[in-house]
Chains A and B, each alone.
Chain A
Amino acid sequence: MTLQERREELKKRLNRDLLLFDGGMGTQLQNAGLKAGQIPEELNLDAPDLITDVHCRYLRAGADFITTNTFGCNRLKMAEAKYPVAQMIGAAIENAKKAQKVCGREDDSYIVLDIGPIGTMLKPLGTLPFSEAYEIIAEQIEAAKDSVDAVLFETMTDVYEVKAAILAAKEHSDLPIFTTMTFDKSKRTLTGTNVETFVNIVESLGVDMLGVNCSLGPKELAPIIEELLSFSHVPVMAQPNAGLPNFLHGETVYELTPEEFVTDLQPFLNGGLAVCGGCCGTTPDFIAALNGVRPSKANPRTNPYMPKVSSSTQTVRFDGHVIVCGERLNPTGKKKMQAALKENHLDEVVAEGIRQEDAGAEVLDVNVGLPGIDEAQMMQKLIPMLQEVINLPLQIDSSSPEALEAACRIYNGRPLINSVNAKPAMMEAVLPIVKKYGGIVIALTLEEEIPLLAQERVELAERIIDRAGQEGIRKEDIVVDCLTLTASAQQKEVAQTLKAVRMMRERGHHTALGVSNVSFGLPYRALLNRTFLSMAIDAGLDLPIMNPLDAQMMGCVDAANLLLDHDHDSIHFIEKYANASDVLTNTVSASGAGTPAQNGATADGSGGNGSGSSDFDLSYMIQKGMKNEVQEQTRKELSGSSAMTLINEVIIPALNRVGKDYEAGKIFLPQLIQAAETTKLAFAVVQETFQASEEKKGPILICTVEGDIHDIGKNIVKVVLESYGYDMIDLGKDVKAEEVVAAYHQYKPKMIGLSALMTTTVVNMQKTIDALHAAGITCPVWVGGAVLTQQIADEIGADYYSSDAMDSVRLLEEVVKA
């Protein structure tokens, strides 16, 4: 049998026969004398007989799969190993093959390439780029792809790393892919992924088997195994530990005997598992015990399919309830969003996303299509920034297949993809992307133009669904957009849209609509929008793409979900509206919902809301950090004086007083920042009255250097400088030297600020300064951070050092003015 045939046969056996994996390798090696600090993967070459013997014992115990001794065999973890990664993997496979031969089990057992976690966290929470994680794993796959039967990604706690691993395996081999993660008692991984989300993501990426390993013993894992079995549509495997570890007489001892282990797993051997094995603390005795009781056939479950989209921590089901997709991350017709994208002020885009999440959106549309912007590049930059702080699944929105692919690749989760239409070229370009990244796609019912009649739109939808089927995309994974037309221009066709939604629903399809398109060019748009929304929901609309900050429309969705029995026992509705008056305000506050401390606190801790804005002047409000009232007061004071007078005679002196109090120890960092943030809000009003570019100081470039992810200090300096009117270009954290050089050429700043928190990253600060000098850039550089001193600043070639935010203000006032 060729390797290819073996792999196909293996896939067929999964879910047909109940198969056994091996147990712990590390435990066996420690028992054989592996010393602390020794690298287990080196033993593949240094003690091949030992490794072969462990495999043999598992094969004799009845294991159908043996995993190679390559758990940590990647270039990061093996940096100090004496052999190259590929050599150790090759030797590990040879040892496994030898064991098969010795035991006479070449034909009825399988060798699985074992790949554990890379060992560091991926961006944006860590520093490892997704592309590098992919390369690290691709290297491991390349070393084994022609000599193993399958690959197992195990013990990973970050589903983003799992995605990189699956893509690497798919793009570098045709190996069957098994994926298990570890979960704790909360039924989440350490990075917050729940079981349903894990299943949704990896299943959509096309794994052949998924499951759980390590973590806990079989008894504690039972609820997790149960959930895996109830959500999965592919074979499920489990490799628990030998119970929970105890620390006895200086050694870690696992609590279960092989018999207890098997007893706890027994219900699942007959109840849906396709493969079972063991992890930490399990030995050949455990596998022999499993072998003694295993049924010959698996008893797989058949779960109904429901389309779902996921971020790494949340899953939204298309189960019939109305799902609000926030539409506001889109520059079309939004000047502020356009400026934020063009000027690289992406934190403002992120803030808009947070506002929509706080307002109750379940999915956020992300569109960055703007002349002069490289959409693919911008998507790859913005999506991780959004996903770092927003838990919602994203809807990737672009008319460019290149941008869609770039975004789907970097996206952490299972995306909604907006969109494909019935043009053959478009289907050809977009549908393979949907298939490859496991997305759910919105199908626009148009070809060259939007058909007027509902029936024609339904026919186009079916054409797309058929074509998607040829790519292997399930029809449930297509959400049909029947296209909202504008009532002012095509009044008669509004009803056709609703009719098409109804027809699609009757055919069992899910639907989307861009709701607010209906009211363009008419007065009182809010009324038209929410009326249309109600009618569309009644027709069967699943996914309104709308403004979640419109409280009236959100109310409409909440009421519909209650009335259609999706908000069971009205829990969500009562929670949200128990104290609502009959008349809702039209929009929620731009600052969104937050904790009382977030919204109400003022610099002096007085609460700030009590007396109304008219009792205090602008200067007082800045000093006391009264964010909620400051904009109204600024408008009032602007009516009596010019913008420049207000800045120079009120705002800056007020800020200076705050700075003095801070330095004198009368107020502390939170109050300083509150005053700075309040000033920013005042500035936003002042700037409405004049050309910002004429009066803004700067630009100033600022970032935290490569290798450092601590950016609170840098952010504080940024906001305080912004309050003094500086145009701050923030490159973020973990920024490479060459990115700083490139940003200099793009923005031509007046000064460059570099931040580093730890001594270990100060070296990268020097590297950045050296790179700037090597590029002939003479722009002054100032540095700061917890461990920095004037002396270190001098040593690394910085032009200036500042000890804190106010010191930076003083410095820039001197240097930039000069």
Chain B
Amino acid sequence: MSEIDRKLMQKRTLSYLGDRKQEGAFALSEEIDSCFEELEKEAHFLGCYEVYALDFDKEGFPEIPDAGVRLRSEDLKNLFASCERVCVLATTLGVSYDRYIRRIMNGNMSHGVVLDAAASAYLEGRTDAFEEELGLGERTFRFAPGYGDLDLSLNIPLLKAIRADKKLGITHTSGGLFLPQKSMLGLIGLNGETAHADLGQKTPTCLTCARREACRQKKSGSASCCFPEQTPGRV
């Protein structure tokens, strides 16, 4: 992890702890750093991906025929409008992290809460790095089921399509929750000639988020919480 990545992960961790204005940065920065050290040791980061051709139905909603998945989402309709292919990517911190966080929560819950937030930031950071290594070229930002109006239940067929169970050990409960718990799945549109155009206005915001009513961060006045550092079209 470079120093910049670490700073970004620190920022994200504080944000997940509810401290969007980063007022606790001084008091917690040492502890957050020690969490990253623990995660380097205890978590078992793995990632896998597949690239598929994208198709669009009559109404313009994207679909991935080779994965047998239809993406009925206005957000993705906009985001992927000019894309030809899609990268489906999954990453996880593995069950070793699940065991570790439970152990910490049993003995030292306050540290466990910081660790949990740090682990989310760490997973994102490692996923960003994993994604960059793939050299995907022209692309949209990463979008995940559960963001905006994209149905969470799509996780199940997408996981199956890229065989994340076999490759990474990611499975799900009957309700679609990931196991191991710190796992994520994302979709990245590729190869569109105008993949960068107009995304600023089409970036999903809290207004379309499924959690908009309950989100503490939105209540605190933040414009966008799920994508704090995602820059549209970041290459």
Could you tell me if B34 and A597 are in contact, using CB atoms closer than 8 angstroms?
yes
Check if B7 is an interface residue, CB within 8 A of chain A: no
Check if B4 is an interface residue, CB within 8 A of chain A: no
Contacts of B181 in A (CB 8 A): 709-710
Check if B166 is an interface residue, CB within 8 A of chain A: yes
Could you tell me if B17 and A125 are in contact, using CB atoms closer than 8 angstroms?
no
- Greatest chain B CB density within 10 A among A668, A786, A788 is at A668
Check if B3 is an interface residue, CB within 8 A of chain A: no
Stretch from B112-120, B125-133, B194-202, B227-235 forming part of the interface with A: B112-120
* Chain B 80-117 near chain A by CB (<8 Å), digits 1 or 0: 00000100000000111011011111111111111010
Could you tell me if B152 and A759 are in contact, using CB atoms closer than 8 angstroms?
yes
Could you tell me if B169 and A157 are in contact, using CB atoms closer than 8 angstroms?
yes
Check if A761 is an interface residue, CB within 8 A of chain B: yes
Contacts of A182 in B (CB 8 A): 166
Q: Is the interface of A mostly helix, strand, loop or mixed?
A: loop
Check if A48 is an interface residue, CB within 8 A of chain B: no
Q: Choose among A389, A760, A786, A803 the residue that contacts B211 (Cβ–Cβ < 8 A).
A: A786
Q: Choose among B26, B34, B116 the residue that contacts A712 (Cβ–Cβ < 8 A).
A: B116
Check if A592 is an interface residue, CB within 8 A of chain B: yes
Could you tell me if A389 and B214 are in contact, using CB atoms closer than 8 angstroms?
no
Check if A564 is an interface residue, CB within 8 A of chain B: no
Could you tell me if A597 and B95 are in contact, using CB atoms closer than 8 angstroms?
no
Known: A605-B31, A673-B113, A677-B109. A354 touches B179 (CB 8 A): no
- Greatest chain B CB density within 10 A among A35, A592, A709, A803 is at A709
Could you tell me if B17 and A117 are in contact, using CB atoms closer than 8 angstroms?
no
> How many angstroms between the C-alpha atoms of A187 and B160 in the bound complex?
25
Contacts of A691 in B (CB 8 A): none
* Chain B 202-221 near chain A by CB (<8 Å), digits 1 or 0: 00000000110110100010
Report B13-51 residues with CB < 8 Å from chain A CB.
14, 17-19, 21, 23-24, 26-28, 30-31, 34-35, 38, 44, 46, 50-51
Q: Choose among A119, A625, A712 the residue that contacts B112 (Cβ–Cβ < 8 A).
A: A712
Known: A125-B180, A191-B169. A712 touches B30 (CB 8 A): no
Check if B165 is an interface residue, CB within 8 A of chain A: yes
Contacts of B157 in A (CB 8 A): 37
Known: A250-B51, A597-B34, A670-B31. A126 touches B109 (CB 8 A): no
Check if B53 is an interface residue, CB within 8 A of chain A: yes
Contacts of A641 in B (CB 8 A): none
Known: A35-B68, A712-B112. A126 touches B171 (CB 8 A): yes
Check if B173 is an interface residue, CB within 8 A of chain A: yes
* Chain B 165-202 near chain A by CB (<8 Å), digits 1 or 0: 11011011111110111000000000000000000000
> How many angstroms between the C-alpha atoms of A625 and B49 in the bound complex?
44
Could you tell me if B110 and A674 are in contact, using CB atoms closer than 8 angstroms?
yes
> How many angstroms between the C-alpha atoms of A517 and B98 in the bound complex?
38
Could you tell me if B152 and A760 are in contact, using CB atoms closer than 8 angstroms?
yes
> How many angstroms between the C-alpha atoms of A604 and B169 in the bound complex?
39
Could you tell me if A760 and B95 are in contact, using CB atoms closer than 8 angstroms?
no
Check if A1 is an interface residue, CB within 8 A of chain B: no
Known: A190-B94, A669-B113, A673-B110. A605 touches B27 (CB 8 A): yes
* Chain B 134-177 near chain A by CB (<8 Å), digits 1 or 0: 00000000000000000011000100010001101101111111
What class of interface size applies to chain A in its complex with B? 35 or more
Question: What's the least CB distance linking A359 to chain B, in Å?
Answer: 13
Residue of B nearest to A389 (CB): B103
Q: Choose among A117, A677, A764, A788 the residue that contacts B214 (Cβ–Cβ < 8 A).
A: A788
Check if A508 is an interface residue, CB within 8 A of chain B: no
Contacts of A191 in B (CB 8 A): 95, 169
Question: What's the least CB distance linking A265 to chain B, in Å?
Answer: 22
Check if B67 is an interface residue, CB within 8 A of chain A: yes
Check if A561 is an interface residue, CB within 8 A of chain B: no
Q: Choose among B21, B94, B108 the residue that contacts A598 (Cβ–Cβ < 8 A).
A: B108
Report A572-601 residues with CB < 8 Å from chain B CB.
591-592, 594-598, 601
Q: Choose among A591, A601, A668 the residue that contacts B24 (Cβ–Cβ < 8 A).
A: A668
Check if B5 is an interface residue, CB within 8 A of chain A: no
Could you tell me if B107 and A592 are in contact, using CB atoms closer than 8 angstroms?
yes
Could you tell me if A716 and B177 are in contact, using CB atoms closer than 8 angstroms?
no
- Greatest chain A CB density within 10 A among B53, B104, B169, B181 is at B169
Could you tell me if B114 and A670 are in contact, using CB atoms closer than 8 angstroms?
yes
Question: What's the least CB distance linking A719 to chain B, in Å?
Answer: 6
Residue of A nearest to B111 (CB): A598
Report A663-682 residues with CB < 8 Å from chain B CB.
665-671, 673-674, 677
Could you tell me if A709 and B177 are in contact, using CB atoms closer than 8 angstroms?
yes
Report A709-743 residues with CB < 8 Å from chain B CB.
709-710, 712, 715-716, 719
Check if A155 is an interface residue, CB within 8 A of chain B: yes
Check if A27 is an interface residue, CB within 8 A of chain B: no
Report A210-261 residues with CB < 8 Å from chain B CB.
214, 247, 250, 252
> How many angstroms between the C-alpha atoms of A347 and B59 in the bound complex?
54
Residue of A nearest to B134 (CB): A247
> How many angstroms between the C-alpha atoms of A391 and B214 in the bound complex?
37
> How many angstroms between the C-alpha atoms of A390 and B103 in the bound complex?
8
> How many angstroms between the C-alpha atoms of A388 and B52 in the bound complex?
38
Report A15-70 residues with CB < 8 Å from chain B CB.
35-37
Check if A534 is an interface residue, CB within 8 A of chain B: no
Residue of A nearest to B94 (CB): A190
Residue of A nearest to B157 (CB): A37
Report A136-179 residues with CB < 8 Å from chain B CB.
155, 157
Could you tell me if B30 and A605 are in contact, using CB atoms closer than 8 angstroms?
yes
Could you tell me if B179 and A125 are in contact, using CB atoms closer than 8 angstroms?
yes
Q: Which 9 A-B pairs have the closest CB atoms?
A: A37-B68, A190-B169, A605-B27, A760-B175, A674-B110, A389-B103, A673-B110, A597-B34, A121-B179
A-B contact pairs, 17 of them (CB 8 A): A119-B165, A155-B166, A182-B166, A190-B44, A192-B99, A247-B51, A354-B103, A354-B106, A389-B103, A591-B107, A595-B38, A667-B24, A710-B181, A712-B105, A715-B105, A719-B109, A803-B214
Known: A388-B99, A715-B109, A758-B177. 8 other contacts (CB 8 A): A120-B171, A190-B95, A351-B107, A596-B34, A605-B30, A677-B109, A677-B110, A787-B211
Residues of B at under 8 Å CB distance from A? Answer: 14, 17-19, 21, 23-24, 26-28, 30-31, 34-35, 38, 44, 46, 50-53, 65-68, 85, 94-96, 98-99, 101-114, 116, 152-153, 157, 161, 165-166, 168-169, 171-177, 179-181, 210-211, 213-214, 216, 220
